[in-house]
Each structure stands twice: as C-alpha cells, then as structure tokens.
Amino acid sequence: MKLGILKAGRPPKACIPEFGTYPDMFEKLLGPATYDYHVFAVDEGELPTSPSACDAYLVTGASAGVYDPLPWIASAEDFLRAAKGRAALVGVCFGHQLMAQAFGGKVIKSPKGWGLGENEYRVLTREAWMTGSEDDSAGTIRLPASHQDQVVEAPPGAEVFAASDFTPIAGLVWRDQPAISIQPHPEFEPAYAVSLIEHRREGPYTPDEADRAVASYNGPDDRARVGGWIRNFLRQAT
C-alpha cells in the first residue's frame, strides 16, 4: 500500500537529530516496512500530483493554525476535498483540525488554553478497526497532547468517537468516506513529548504549564494500541 504522509510542520530543530521528523515518527509508529511511504512537504507547497497517487494519506501535526491565511493551507484543504472517496484519509492534531475544516467543520483557538501532557480520552463508539482486545469496545485511551486549537463543530458526515472534558471533539470517524482523525499524538514518544515541552518552557508554555505536563508522563499510554487502530483502519479502508 502506498501511504502518502502530508507533512504540515516540523519539530524544533534541536529535537530532530534524536527523534526525527514527524514523518519519521509516524513510520516508526506504524512500522517502517508496513507501507510504501511517500512524504509530501505540504507546508512548503508540495502536494501529490493526484489524489490517486497514493492509496491513503496521513496529515501530520503543525505549529500553524488551520485558520491562518497561509496559501499552502487552502491548497491542502482543496487536495483533501479532491481526495474524498478516492483515498483513505487520516489526520492527527493539525491534520485532525485541517480535515474537519476542509469538510465543513469549525476550528478555533480555544479559550481553554493549551492541552498539554498525557491526557485521557473516552472512547464513545465501537469501530470495526478497533480490534485486538475486548477493552477496545469501550473505556479510555491515554495519549500525548500538545494543542491550543480545537475542533468545536464536527463536519457533516463525521461522528465523534473520542472525547474528553477539555477536548469534546478529540476523534472523528467519517461515515460518508474512509476517513478518521484524532487530536492527540500517538506518534509522540514520551521522551520526545517531554523534550518538546522543555524547548517551549519559556514560551509559548508557562513554567507551571510545562511542569504539570512533564509530570503527566509517569505511566503507560496507549500509543501502540492507537497505532494498531490506524493500521487496521488503513487495511480495511483500502
């Protein structure tokens, strides 16, 4: 399967030698040999020549806001709309927000402030790609988060499958096309998430926010489980 990774941003330069780029993180999460990966730097104006160039596309995180007046964001939205029904789509963090906005939802800079650290999300629906254990039928997932923007209105055709009190629309599954998206970061290893926090301790995070976020990385998470969900979704959708 050809999986196109639509790179929408990059980690802090100081973090890349140890942890790699966002496409590197997703390849590690999903398995280096699992797909025929193709990376497109959409934040630099690079897009696939056609939605049919790959079987599926995954949109990464970014420091930009989807509402920013950047030409590449509008172009990326146009591409996602053109890909509807022609390729499976997965969005994470910025990708979650970009997909929601592209298909008619609403995204804002949340007055709640930053969502940081490992957070717990309720699993609201049982999906066919949630396989592997009985626990996947309900319960919660715990994943790293790093965002101040939120989807506040789901687009037509999409249903919320994961939520928290802080992030009520934390995961979306589309019923009118093969597409899923999630606000938190299953691709963030805890060591990278902590490094990212430390690099932003003096801005945009406050020291207190950074301290609380670092302290949250003190137990197991569900990164591998959700990575399996993404693999199952892509296998079933393509």
Active site positions, annotated: 93, 185, 187
**Residue listed under structure tokens 């990575």:** 227
Tokens 């999630």, residue located: 182
Measure the CA–CA gap between 149 and 215, rounded to whole angstroms: 22
Neighbouring CB atoms inside 10 A of 183's CB total 32
Helices vs. strands in the chain: H and E counts, helices first = 7, 11
The closest of 113, 229, 110, 112 to 171, measured between CA atoms, is 229
Give, in order, the Cα–Cα distances in Å from 166 to each of 2, 18, 78, 130, 163.
35, 31, 30, 23, 8
